[in-house]
Amino acid sequence: MTMDEALDALKAAAEPGRAEQMAAYHKVDRPYLGVPNPAINTIVSEWRQEMDIDARVALAAALWETDVFEARLAAAKLLTQARMRPDEAAWDLIQSWVPDFDSWAIADHACMAGQRRLVADPARLDQVELWTQSDNIWTRRAALVVTLPWTKQNFPTEQELAARERILGWAAGYLDRKNGIIQKAVAWWLRDLSKHAPDRTRAFLEEHGGRMKAYAVKEARRHLS
């Protein structure tokens, strides 16, 4: 599968008039084809069945470089898999994309791929921590999106609890900046955590809620009684 063949497959699934709607919605200046997300899922699923890991990483890298919206989503979906051995090349590629993040949709799809690689090797949190120091607000946001699996453990191990506290430390450090993108990211992380660790979420809000926007506190508390 060449990059041109992959783009042709995506273009064939485009819906008339949808590209203009997507451009207006996402508000980022890049090419849009007008392909709905379920169609991308179907196309990428077929690619994954036909390709080994090396081929998928190579195609994902080429698709990302086009800067076409659907191509970048497809690139991320190509690497979204729980079990992937070896996975070093996939993780390195996902990391290389992070400085390019400029909108939520592409960033979140890439982070979903990154979540699987982090769960497979939590030592990679050391690399993610570097994202929290970036001048790019989308890179800082990605550090919380990619670590969402640590909000979901009902019976975390000591190592998982330590990782959770580490990430909460990043979140607390973010709150000195009142940027809405970051405030929402912190709120969403806490909202998801509250489903599994409500007391820890309350404690965070008691300590740091005064530095959060009112709408962020409300979102973080959505599932708390």
Question: What one-character-per-residue DSSP string does 152-190 give?
Answer: --SS--HHHHHHHHHHHHHHHHHTTS--HHHHHHHHHHH
Q: Which pLDDT band holds residue 125 (cuts at 50, 70, 90)?
A: very high
Q: Which domain holds residue 81?
A: 1-142
Q: Would you say residue 177 has pLDDT above 90? A: no
| Model confidence pLDDT, tens digit, residues 69-102 | 999 999 999 999 999 999 999 999 999 999 999 9
Contact call for residues 93 and 60 (beta carbons, < 8 A): yes
Tokens describing residue 22:
């997507």
- The predicted model gives 141-170 an average pLDDT of 97
Domain end call among 73, 108, 142: 142
132 and 184 both lie in a single domain: no
Q: Which pLDDT band holds residue 26 (cuts at 50, 70, 90)?
A: very high
Q: What pLDDT does 1 receive?
A: 87
Close Cβ partners of 144 (under 8 Å, ≥ 6 residues apart): 167, 170, 171, 174, 185, 186, 188, 189
Q: Which percentage of the chain shows pLDDT scores above 70?
A: 100
SS3 content of the chain, % helix, strand, coil (to 5): 70, 0, 30
Q: Would you say residue 157 has pLDDT above 90? A: yes
Domain end call among 113, 142, 171: 142
129 and 68 both lie in a single domain: yes
Tokens describing residue 40:
């991308």
Q: Would you say residue 61 has pLDDT above 90? A: yes
Distance between CA atoms of 180 and 213, rounded to whole angstroms?
8
2 and 37 both lie in a single domain: yes
**In total, how many domains does the chain have?**
2
- Rounded mean pLDDT of the chain? 97
97 and 116 both lie in a single domain: yes
Tokens describing residue 110:
């890439």
Q: Would you say residue 33 has pLDDT above 90? A: yes
120 and 10 both lie in a single domain: yes
Distance between CA atoms of 27 and 24, rounded to whole angstroms?
5
Q: Which percentage of the chain shows pLDDT scores above 90?
A: 97
Q: Which pLDDT band holds residue 204 (cuts at 50, 70, 90)?
A: very high
Prior bond of 31 cis (ω within 30°): no
Q: Would you say residue 220 has pLDDT above 90? A: yes
Sequence-ordered strand ranges (E) for the chain: none
Q: Would you say residue 146 has pLDDT above 90? A: yes
151 and 165 both lie in a single domain: yes
Q: What pLDDT does 190 receive?
A: 98
Using a 10 angstrom Cβ sphere, with 0-12 exposed, 13-18 middle and 19 or more buried, the burial of residue 165 is exposed
Tokens describing residue 90:
């996939």
pTM of the model: 0.95
Helix (H) or strand (E) holding 21: helix 18-26
